[in-house]
Structure 1
């Protein structure tokens, strides 16, 4: 099933930041969002993930299919690595966590409390949650933060495997993940230009 975004306008703090945005992402496809900081990448991803409503336009094919990963790792620090993954697997009705542990090389850390992990290890665990959700649409906001080069490679391989079975991925990132199958969407052309204040505005009210 496709993910379709049609003539979308999204807002941050009540002000539109991107408008007129349309794209189609087919099964097995990935799309990399590019643009300067502050342009609205996070706002767009949150809107597609259903965390905030769009100002205008349509999003089709995202309902109950999205796994969203943002800057917070979403971990319970007192639970072990395996307990964290088991918790999320149960939330989403998934089964075995072994493949998620293997994909991000977390097996040796399975019994460590999440709160005792390094920043990079926490990030790997946060991303491993994607593999136990069973969700086909991955919406990812700067997923490689805190990852070293090797871990970035593990993440890219996980994305490739996800796409290979027909999953979709929408990713905001500044780095090259080496995903030859991914398209690139530059957001600068969709930046909303706010109308200037009229000349007869009364500054006495400021």
Structure 2
């Protein structure tokens, strides 16, 4: 299976000091990787590096396919309604081959809320809207930071279903989570991010 994203001794520095120990990873189509680590170890920073939001201070990040990043905090325009936010996501990504807005909203349990402003959604509904964004603008690689946050049991089951669908399309998933282990048809690989220990 083709490698979709990989790193070589990648790390990121703040104030001249690496946040985490250098990371080597390689994720292919149909493969999932769970990123674990202590609070403050740099899990979110690593995902942002993989997404291209941050640039590595040393080492390399190679993306061989389009990626989508869904952060812990919803990145929506509160004054826009759900449909408008999905339209924005589709235009921003440049992808036009995904689900329609209405179908994506129904898929994530937000049917009938297309005209509701994003600021009026609950935390769990905002998380579901983020998932809908992945469906209207599909990419080969999903980078998900705490995708189960703010979701009830049904919402967590929905995440697992969408992850399995993505892997079944030969896409890949890299996610951080401390709440639960994803229930996937193929067991994921696990990467433990280690805080930078300093020179020895």
Please state whether the residue corresponding to 2:19 is helix, strand or coil.
Answer: strand
Provide the C-alpha distance between the structure 2 equivalents of 1:69 and 1:37, rounded to a whole number of angstroms.
Answer: 19
* Aligned-pair CA distance for 1:31: 0.2
Native 8 Å contact 1:48 1:62 kept in 2: no
Larger Rg computed on CA atoms? 1
Unaligned runs of 5+ in 2: none
d(CA) in 2 for partners of 1:114 and 1:148?
A: 19
Q: 1:30 — aligned with what?
A: 32
Question: How many Å apart are 1:17 and its aligned residue?
Answer: 2.0
Answering whether residue 43 of structure 2 is matched by residue 41 of structure 1, we say yes
Q: Deviations over 1:140-160 (max 9, x none)?
A: 111221111111111111111
1:139 aligns with 2:143: yes
Q: Is this contact kept in 2: 1:103–1:158, CA < 8 A?
A: no
1:58 to 43, 57, 60: 60
What is the CA distance between 1:62 and its match in structure 2?
4.9
- Within 5 A, what are the aligned runs for 1:70-89? 70-89=71-90
Instruction: Give the CA deviation at 1:185.
Output: 1.2
CA distance in 1, matches of 2:67, 2:15: 24
Moved more, 52-61 or 36-45: 52-61
Question: Where does residue 199 of structure 1 map in the other structure?
Answer: none
The question of whether the paired residues in 1 share the 8 Å contact of 2:72 and 2:146 is answered with yes
Residue 69 of structure 1 corresponds to 70
TM-score (norm 2): 0.88
CA distance in 1, matches of 2:88, 2:73: 17
Secondary structure in structure 2 of the residue aligned to 1:88: helix
Q: TM-score, normalised by structure 1?
A: 0.85
Q: Is the 8 A contact 2:11 2:20 kept in 1?
A: yes
Which residue is equivalent to 2:193?
187
Partners of 1:169 and 1:29 in 2: CA distance = 7
Alpha-carbon distance in 1 for matches of 2:75, 2:15 = 24
Q: How far does residue 100 in structure 1 lie from its aligned partner after superposition?
A: 1.7
